[in-house]
Amino acid sequence: MAEFTVSTASADDMRLIAAWARDEGWHPGDGDENVFFPTDPGGFLVGRLDERPISSIAAIRYGSGHGFIGLYLTVPEFRGRGYGLKTWQAGMERLAGRHIGLDGVVAQQENYRRSGFQQAWITTRYEGVLAGAETAPGLEVVEASEVPFGELAAYDRRFFPAERDAFLALWITAPGRHGVAVIRDDRVAGFAVRRPAGDADRIGPVFADDLAAAETLLAGLSTDYEMPVLLDVPGTNPEAAKLAGRLGLEPAWDTARMYTSGTPEMDLSGIYAVTSLELG
């Protein structure tokens, strides 16, 4: 009889999980696994059938009380046999007692509700070639790596339920990334990161004080680029959807951001694109 086990992923497993995500059409960023893994090395789990990896889940711990579920999938030929559910249970057990978030396909919402999740908003993926973004008067675009890290981390904390300094430091400096910040009156008024993702680039996060700062960030990330982009825009910010449409992007598909124990306190009006669907 085949033996199924769930255990912590290795660095090699992370590359395999990234390949699975590409096969699903999720467009993970190139090299995302190298940023994700150090964030919480024990948080990536792999289900093995007779030692063959066939399923995965990320159950990431942030701070002392927050967690995030992502990269939950099973190799197609092994679906419908309960292996995915066992992997899910292992991930949820790792985050027991924490406030947990996830981004899941809308069709799976009912299954997530059975595990205690409730919808906070719908995130729409917009895609296309950025065109026409302009820099607003009074705003300066700088490289994110030039901003004192403490200031950038404090700004990020407005838009995420927990401190994530280790993740953020890698997110803005990993090879192939382009992070920019906008400065108004000598203070950070927004920041965003663009990264390659196969045949498109993903932009996330786009965090900004207001619409002018958000458009200025996208202007700073559209110069000298020819690749189409993908932005994951939360339904809590109607201005973000309007901006994406005005700059030439079209809605492609939706996911549901869900949480246990209610939506955490964040500056939702300043989220013009979420950081990632995989780790929040």
Strand pairing class (52-62; 187-197): unpaired
Pinpoint the alpha helices (H) of the chain.
Answer: 11-23, 32-39, 83-94, 109-114, 149-156, 165-173, 211-220, 238-246
Distance (Å, rounded) from C-alpha 84 to C-alpha 89? 9
Contact by Cβ (8 Å): 207, 190: yes
Number of domains the chain is built from: 2
pLDDT tens-digit readout, 213-264: 999 999 999 977 789 999 999 999 999 999 999 999 999 999 999 999 999 9
| Residue 180 belongs to domain with CATH number | 3.40.630.90
C-alpha R_g of the chain: 18
Calculate ∠ Cα 180-181-187, nearest 5°: 165
pLDDT tens-digit readout, 130-139: 999 999 999 9
Range of the domain at 14: 4-123
Distance (Å, rounded) from C-alpha 14 to C-alpha 21? 11
> Which two three-digit tokens encode residue 74?
């099973």
Q: Is the pLDDT of residue 196 over 90?
A: yes
* Domain end marker among 59, 89, 123: 123
* Domain end marker among 97, 123, 149: 123
Residues 153 and 208 in one domain: yes
* Domain end marker among 65, 88, 123: 123
> pTM for this one?
0.96
